[in-house]
Structure 1
């Protein structure tokens, strides 16, 4: 309840929390997602390539070594196979994620604008489910198919060409192959990532530490590390399900165990760690800065 002080008949109320406008969340999230995807894509490429059964001459689990070898043997451009699709998808994904998260956050936060760890994870989980349906699954399907296709005799010339061929062969539902596994992965990832970020941010605020771009980058990076190891199995299953041939969740899970054993579910974690360590810092710091520019009064 807000505190009220009376002075000469005038009531002075304690300032209430200011909510972030939805359009600010949408624009800030989209910009943050696009910047993050463009900078960190080589790590995403290497992670996806390792998760797919690779019969090419390049076989290593070291992300930097794989990036170097691909650049040397196939050219630097090969590291950006499917990049356009991911940038578009990540821009849309981040925009949907942040507007969904902030909308839910505004309804779950207390009168001081504080979100409990449990509610923060719930908000993140819901946002992840929404983004998986509206943005993630189609773009991830195309990106994964392009990288899988690039290992052998290429049948796809571009993202648009891949989309056209897949729809012609199997129908529009082909773009939603792996929807369940993607939703599982995105819900878990967003719950852990947004929940961890929110918890760390509230802890820092409670200790009186002023947040800036550097502290925000650090918090986001830590949230990214936690997210990788907590949700990697979902990501591995999703990747297998969205290869060129496609697969169901059970089939994808069995293929991972057959090829690599139980530890295979964490295949590509070092590549994903490289990306999410950077992306966690980038996406949250860019989001906060753009939000502050667009709507200074609502910047948390």
Structure 2
């Protein structure tokens, strides 16, 4: 028997709600991940995730940890909705013959989902990275300015250092407007290739792994697994996929960063980025932020799958006809 007909509007609602809840919970860890991935040898401001968050709160306040969250909260609804709904759609299409999905078909469905989502993911991540990394660049300038004062006469005074370090940080709107003015729509899709290289393998690992783990909690094929099984399955599958593609995430983050700190490398493309990271920072640099990324993705997808399988979207849409009656 074929799988039940999916309700695309309901899946979009579920994906959107899940994304909003998940991002709100884990965004500070994601900020730490971006800053740790972007700092290069000789320019280290943070030694670990906890050190990054503590220094961020001290220098930028509590809400400094949520810098760039507005972009994510605005675009995560369509991004998560497209990802989850596309995977559901492709799984439904591949199961029309009534046979159980093979692993290859599950991976192809995940591949389709990852490919579809980059339409929203690329500009969202690109803008978010600029806002998240601004604090790291400001801290680096502040540190270098302080060191310069120690080595030179105090003619300019400490106020000059403070004003230099507290340079204005652009908003997402300003960055978007400038990119559209100078590079057109293509400017918002900087790092598209790297985003595809990360998201397609991620989805190919995540969705089949989640589906098979979740099946372990189903008493019958037509019955949903308990919510805690979906949550744990989402966490395990999400963290596994996140760590597996972390090297690609490091490359994507570096390529999408528009501003660089002093003496930091710039990259002309994916291969140039891989070569310079390997040569200047060693192979372990590709694992930067892996711990943070696992901590971000695990609850993010755990929450997403619970919301998705509870069926909040179906419940909300089911209320509409009764109100009209």
TM range, smaller chain? 0.7 to 0.9
Structure having the higher Rg: 2
1:243-276 CA deviation, whole Å, 9 max, x = no partner? 0147421222223224421111111101101111
Task: Give the TM-score normalised by structure 2.
Answer: 0.79
- For residues 207 and 274 of structure 1, what CA distance do their matches in structure 2 show? 32
- For residues 134 and 272 of structure 2, what CA distance do their matches in structure 1 show? 20
Structure 1 residue 163: Cα displacement: 0.9
2:239 is equivalent to residue 225 of structure 1 = yes
1:65-114 CA deviation, whole Å, 9 max, x = no partner? 32223112321111111111112222111111122111111011265574
* Gap runs ≥5 in structure 1: 3-15
Aligned to 2:86: 100
- For residues 261 and 148 of structure 1, what CA distance do their matches in structure 2 show? 22
Aligned length: 280
2:153 is equivalent to residue 131 of structure 1 = no
Aligned to 2:315: 293
Correspondence for 1:48 among 34, 48, 53: 34
- For residues 162 and 222 of structure 1, what CA distance do their matches in structure 2 show? 36
Structure 1 residue 188: Cα displacement: 1.1
Correspondence for 2:281 among 249, 260, 275: 260
- For residues 78 and 268 of structure 1, what CA distance do their matches in structure 2 show? 19
Correspondence for 1:193 among 181, 206, 212: 206
Report 1:69-148 matches (<5 A): 69-109=55-95, 114-132=100-118, 134-148=119-133
Decide whether aligned partners of structure 1 residues 255 and 34 sit closer, same or farther in structure 2, where only a CA change above 3 A counts: farther
* Gap runs ≥5 in structure 2: 139-164, 260-265, 319-325
Q: Is the 8 A contact 2:224 2:309 kept in 1?
A: no
Find the residue that maps to 1:204 and give its secondary structure: coil
Correspondence for 1:238 among 230, 252, 255: 252
Aligned to 2:290: 269
- For residues 74 and 301 of structure 2, what CA distance do their matches in structure 1 show? 18
